[in-house]
Amino acid sequence: MIERTAAVAALLVLTGLPAAAEQVGARAKGGFAESFFMETVPRAEAKATAEKLARAVIAARMIIFAYAGKFVDPALGDKGFSGEVFESQWRSAVEPDLIEATPGQKKIFEKLFWAGRQVIDNNQERLNTKGVGWKNFLPAKWEREMGQVFTARTGIVIKQPGRAYRSPMNAPDDTERSALGHYISAGHGENRPLTSYAKWGKQDVYRHMEPIRLIPPCLGCHGKPRGEPDMLGFEKDGLESGDIIGVMSVTIGLSD
């Protein structure tokens, strides 16, 4: 056994591979992958902007969820859910927030609508495929893809880290992990956002986190019994209606 370990170590030195103690595929230390913000808001507007963005993404999630039955119908071709259809429903859903938005917030909202619509347009071929039931499209996928497109245009980061995430894109960072822990231990009544100021690289940011709670239609995949495969083959989370599944996390760059 000892001989074998020595032989492996020798081989690693020869091939230039990292020694066993150095974990391969681990998260890099320090730095921030996203720290250049094309859109920033004054400190005084940060809270309201983050709240509006979180509300808008949750509204979009509900619009998409309402189409879930149509999306999985193998008999249907065109689902009638183009980017344009989606965007107009989304704009009406967030109209109150839009009306009283500042010019800076309106500009950010336009980029959000653009990003959300892009993702629905990008997924048309997938959504309109006939003869296939599950096409791997649901609100969380839209959010994940929309977040990437939106960040690319604004710098603002919107993500939904999960307590037992499926896509590695939804891995929580340290602040998000502690928010998840807080909401899990505080129970169903705690819905106040957790907010903080931080520095990402040289950029001052405002962070907003609020719980995403399960409702009965989510339980087929995120409910009980824990560990049993859901219809997609993921292990169910074992959660109940009202439990948190993840947090809506918004990070905005500050201009002052």
Contacting residue, 40, 49, 160, 251, with ligand HEC by CB under 6 A = 160
Q: Which of 162, 172, 211, 253 binds ligand HEC (CB under 6 A)?
A: 162
Give residues 14-43 in contact with ligand HEC (rule: CB under 6 A). Answer: none
User: Closest approach of Cβ 8 to ligand HEC, in Å?
Assistant: 36
Distance of closest approach, residue 14 Cβ to ligand HEC, in angstroms? 40
What is d(CA 215, CA 202) in angstroms, rounded to the nearest whole number? 40
Dist CA 118 CA 105 (whole Å): 20
Q: Is 214 in the site for ligand HEC (CB under 6 A)?
A: yes
Q: Which class for 203: exposed (0-12), middle (13-18), buried (19 or more C-beta within 10 A)?
A: middle
Give the C-alpha separation, 104 to 97, whole Å: 13
Provide the token pair at 191.
Answer: 């819905």
Decide: is 165 part of the binding site for ligand HEC (CB under 6 A).
Answer: yes
What x/- string results for residues 105 through 144 when contact with ligand HEC is judged by CB under 6 A? ---------------------------------x-xx--x
Rounded distance, CA 235 to CA 239, Å?
Answer: 12
Q: Does 235 bind ligand HEC (CB under 6 A)?
A: no
167 contacts ligand HEC (rule: CB under 6 A): yes
How far is the C-alpha of 128 from the C-alpha of 118, rounded, in Å? 16
For residue 63, the one-letter residue type is: I
Strands (E) across the chain are located at 40-41, 157-159, 194-200, 203-213, 244-254
196 binds ligand HEC, rule: CB under 6 A: no
CB of 133 to ligand HEC, least distance (A): 11
Comparison of 101 and 140: residue with beta carbon closer to ligand HEC: 140
Q: Which of 221, 250, 252, 254 binds ligand HEC (CB under 6 A)?
A: 221
Q: Which stretch binds ligand HEC (CB under 6 A): 10-18, 77-85, 197-205, 211-219?
A: 211-219
Strands annotated E in 101-232: 157-159, 194-200, 203-213
Question: Rounded CA gap, 256 and 225, in Å?
Answer: 49
Whichever of 98 and 169 has its CB closer to ligand HEC, that residue is 169
What is the C-alpha separation between 195 and 78, in angstroms, rounded? 42
CB atoms within 10 A of CB 180: 24
- Among 157, 239, 245, 250, which residue sits at the site for ligand HEC (rule: CB under 6 A)? 245
Distance CA 150, CA 156 (A): 7
Least distance in angstroms from the C-beta of 65 to ligand HEC: 5
**Shortest Å distance, C-beta 117 to ligand HEC:** 19
Residues forming contacts to ligand HEC in the complex (CB under 6 A) are 65, 138, 140-141, 144, 160, 162, 165-167, 170, 212, 214-215, 217-218, 220-222, 230-232, 234, 245-246
